[in-house]
């Protein structure tokens, strides 16, 4: 597949971003492309809005898996691309259009020229939420085709085209969404003594949350609690009966997530008494850490060094990725692919350089052939 063909595929996918488990047009387009490839060695299986494609090996002794996520984000695009999103309020702002395109490019190459081992291409839905990796991993169809080794990539806006980066051990953090609802008693602003103000309760709670990281978590265990959104009240002269906090928890150790949640719940019990309210906590989607297996990272490093790509050792990041669930059960790794964008991940103006598409296809195919 030539670069101009990869660009056409990426731009088509970029126009139709869909949220988790709603990737119907995306799945249809992927299936159309996959069915246009040589079918002699292919077995195509759908799972919900995702797709599994097995490429039969000529003399298989193991199964090698490559995963590409397929969903978009609820972000209004502001790129002014000629191929901008046609789905109002949705955008491929995390590069999943790149991931899918690279997967298709490598799949076509393997379909024409298979290796001795079996290969499984995994087009996984709902990475951004509510989380597609874990239910896919646990599904009967996946367990039947479960790879012996698995890898995946993620675009890196800050890295130049032609650069790949990863590391053994922790690459991405353990993450959990955090939603906290406060319910009290509203009333007139002139009579605060007759109310239980939930704006005050929620605001105070935000400051207390930071004490959990500062005083309840081992300082050697990296942890973050971020509240990104606060809502409450209806009008300026009415004391709020309800308020809501929305945020995220991120940790470098799996056990730290449990400890932080326990501390949040203890804090909430105290607030219910001191602020005369009820508090409900929802942890939403939870993602397991992306922990790369040392031997495969070292092998990948040698593959990169023998290619035209540049290797860069990565630092651990507090970003989240549900690919971690695959790596919890299957040895493998994830790596960053440089795309040289002026804007970062989840930005409404993300503009990855499409020259990275062919680089991505080549390194994915080379890795599959040499693992």
What six digits make up the tokens of 95? Answer: 């590069």
Task: Give the chain's largest Cα–Cα span.
Answer: 80
Q: Architecture of domain 174-286 in CATH?
A: 2-Layer Sandwich (3.30)
Judge whether 69 counts as a catalytic residue.
yes
- Beta bridge mates, 44: 53
At residue 287, the pLDDT reads 95
Q: Count Cβ atoms below 10 Å from residue 19 Cβ, excluding itself.
A: 18
Q: Given 71, 108, 128, 340, which residue is catalytic?
A: 128
Closest CA to 263 of 201, 320, 215: 215
The CATH number fitting domain 3-171+289-370, selected from 3.30.300.30, 3.40.50.10860, 3.40.50.1010, 3.40.630.10:
3.40.630.10
Domain ranges of the chain: 3-171+289-370, 174-286
Q: Count Cβ atoms below 10 Å from residue 350 Cβ, excluding itself.
A: 24
At residue 147, the pLDDT reads 98
CA dist 247 and 260 (Å) reads: 13
Judge whether 272 counts as a catalytic residue.
no
CA dist 27 and 187 (Å) reads: 50
Rounded to two decimals, the pTM is 0.94
Provide the residue-wise pLDDT of the chain in tens; the chain has 371 residues.
999 999 999 999 999 999 999 999 999 999 999 999 999 999 999 999 999 999 999 999 999 999 999 999 999 999 999 999 999 999 999 999 999 999 999 999 999 999 999 999 999 999 999 999 999 999 999 999 999 999 999 999 999 999 999 999 999 999 999 999 999 999 999 999 999 999 999 999 999 999 999 988 888 888 999 999 999 999 999 999 999 999 999 999 999 999 999 999 999 999 999 999 999 999 999 999 999 999 999 999 999 999 999 999 999 999 999 999 999 999 999 999 999 999 999 999 999 999 999 999 999 999 999 99
Q: Given 18, 23, 69, 181, which residue is catalytic?
A: 69
């Amino acid at each position: 597949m030539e670069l101009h063909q990869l660009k056409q595929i990426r731009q088509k996918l970029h126009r139709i971003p869909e949220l988790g488990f709603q990737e119907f047009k995306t799945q249809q387009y992927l299936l159309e492309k996959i069915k246009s490839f040589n079918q002699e060695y292919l077995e195509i299986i759908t799972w919900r809005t995702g797709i599994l494609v097995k490429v039969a090996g000529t003399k298989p002794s193991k199964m090698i898996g490559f995963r590409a996520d397929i969903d978009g984000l609820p972000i209004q695009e502001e790129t002014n691309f000629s191929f901008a999103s046609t789905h109002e309020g949705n955008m491929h702002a995390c590069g999943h259009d790149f991931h899918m395109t690279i997967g298709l490019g490598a799949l076509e190459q393997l379909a024409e020229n298979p290796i001795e081992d079996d290969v499984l291409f995994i087009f996984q839905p709902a990475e951004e939420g509510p989380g597609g990796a874990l239910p896919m991993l646990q599904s009967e169809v996946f367990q039947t085709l479960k790879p012996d080794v698995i890898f995946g990539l993620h675009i890196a806006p800050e890295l130049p085209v032609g650069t790949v980066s990863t590391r053994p051990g922790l690459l991405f953090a353990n993450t959990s969404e955090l939603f906290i609802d406060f319910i009290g008693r509203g009333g007139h602003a002139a009579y605060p003594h007759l109310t239980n103000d939930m704006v005050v309760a929620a605001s105070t709670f935000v400051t207390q949350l930071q004490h959990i990281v500062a005083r309840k978590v081992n300082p050697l265990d990296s942890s973050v609690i971020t509240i990104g959104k606060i809502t409450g009240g209806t009008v300026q002269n009415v004391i709020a009966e309800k308020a809501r906090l929305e945020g995220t928890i991120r940790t470098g150790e799996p056990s730290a997530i449990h400890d932080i949640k326990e501390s949040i719940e203890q804090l909430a019990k105290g607030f219910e008494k001191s602020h005369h309210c009820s508090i409900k906590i929802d942890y939403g989607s939870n993602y397991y850490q992306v922990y790369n297996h040392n031997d495969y990272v070292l092998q990948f490093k040698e593959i990169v060094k023998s290619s035209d790509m540049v290797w860069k050792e990565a630092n651990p990041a507090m970003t989240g990725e549900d690919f971690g669930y695959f790596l919890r059960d299957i040895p493998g790794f994830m790596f960053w692919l440089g795309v040289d964008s002026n804007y970062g991940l989840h930005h409404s103006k993300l503009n990855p350089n499409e020259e990275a598409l062919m680089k991505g296809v080549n390194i994915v195919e080379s890795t599959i052939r040499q693992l």
